[in-house]
Amino acid sequence: MNTTEKAERKSKRFKYIKLCIFFSGLSVFAQLYLFQPLLPMVAEHFKTTVGDSSLLVSSATIGMALGLFFFAFRADSFSRKKLMIFSLISSALLTIISAWIPSLTLLIAIGVLKGFVISGVSSVALAYLTEEVQLSVVALAISMYLSGNTIGGMSGRILATILAGEFGWRNAVLIIGIESLLLGLIFWKLFPNSKFFNPQKTDYHLKMKQMKRLLTDSYMVRLYFIASLLMGTFVSVYNYLTFRLESAPFSLSHFFIAFIFLMYTFGVFGTMITSRLSVRFEKKYILKGSIFLMLIGLLFLVSENIYIVIFGLGLFTLCFFAAHTMASQMTALHAKEGKSSATSIYWLFYYFGSSFLGSGTGYLLHATSWNTFILVLAIAMLISFGLTINNKSLKID
């Protein structure tokens, strides 16, 4: 086999890349949103408000954003594989430590640190795939990574909720930390080294030029703000829907609410559908349609009928992941150079949206009502849809 050949669909190397990149997404997102379904328990345990407890989720995403800003400059200085291994192992250890932390403030601080180290995976994963995998299967490889993100987020939330109900929220955190550590060790053993990337000394002048070019490229800036608004909306819904379903008129049990997170299965379908549609249709149209249908799904969440809420949540989730998959692909493919910087900035905006909109809407919900909360999120989505209107700006070469 030619050692300079990029990984092909049927090659053993591509199979290992797919498996390990899936495991990395599984680990990262199981940990990142671990506390999301536990917020009512944590709020009760620490005798705090909805908004304050949501800082446990936002702290990790703020850490992610800070880490991504750091790695936007330094990612190319490290081995892709070694950076991802460090991120997966160290984040798992921090999750395990979190099980014994007695203070909410300290738990939030550890969340920031954990988010920072986890960002090492997100900062280089898409760059690695575009460098190491044949162009014809890049979309498939990216979909596998994002599917890992999706299933990790879903399984982490469901397991956390069920385990917390049976053994307490601290033991739930411990078990998920151990599982993430095992995934990190498997990744260490099986993930192929880079063939088309060698670590290089950081040229800060070049990086600043790349960053400036990316942040003055209207195509990229639109995608970055779309990512921020959509992710902020998505996290807001999943942060606080648990509180809504626990109270009247639904009054659902803790166990039943856990399975609401099975809606993430629709996210897997969203990434898969997008991967197939992107071969047949222009990417900008897939992005527009996904955002529009996501907005429709959001509006169904106003209903007091549980079946309508479940349908709306399924549509909302599927279309979020379709839009996110499309936007991240467009970002990675549009960047002709400085791919790690381009994707790091994408994730930076993505997680800032998660952090600030995700927590800010919690305080809004506490002060107003569910319908007002949904209205504000709908406005954020209309803005993101508006950013896709300029066809020329969102056209892939």
- Can you say how many angstroms the Cα of residue 78 is from the centroid of all Cα atoms in its chain? 23
pLDDT attached to residue 390: 64
Residues of the chain with pLDDT under 50: 1-3, 391, 393, 396-397
| pLDDT score, position 276 | 79
For residue 181, give both structure tokens: 């550590």
Q: For residue 23, give the amino acid letter.
A: F
pLDDT at residue 395 in the model: 52
CA torsion through residues 117, 118, 121, 123, sign: negative
Cα distances (Å, whole numbers) of residue 69 to 28, 74, 343: 18, 9, 11
Tell me how far apart the alpha carbons of residues 336 and 250 are, in angstroms, rounded to a whole number: 50
**Which superfamily is assigned to 12-194+201-386 in CATH?**
MFS general substrate transporter like domains (1.20.1250.20)
Q: Which of 238, 225, 236, 234 is nearest to 327 (CA)?
A: 225
Confidence at residue 1, expressed as pLDDT on a 0 to 100 scale: 39
Q: pTM for the whole thing?
A: 0.78
Pair of tokens at residue 288: 């527009």
pLDDT tens digits, 345-357: 888 898 889 888 9
Residue 29's identity, in one-letter code, is F
Taking Cα atoms as reference points, which of 102, 61, 330 lies closest to residue 217?
330
Q: 269-284: per-residue pLDDT in tens?
A: 887 788 778 778 788 8
AA letter at 143 = S
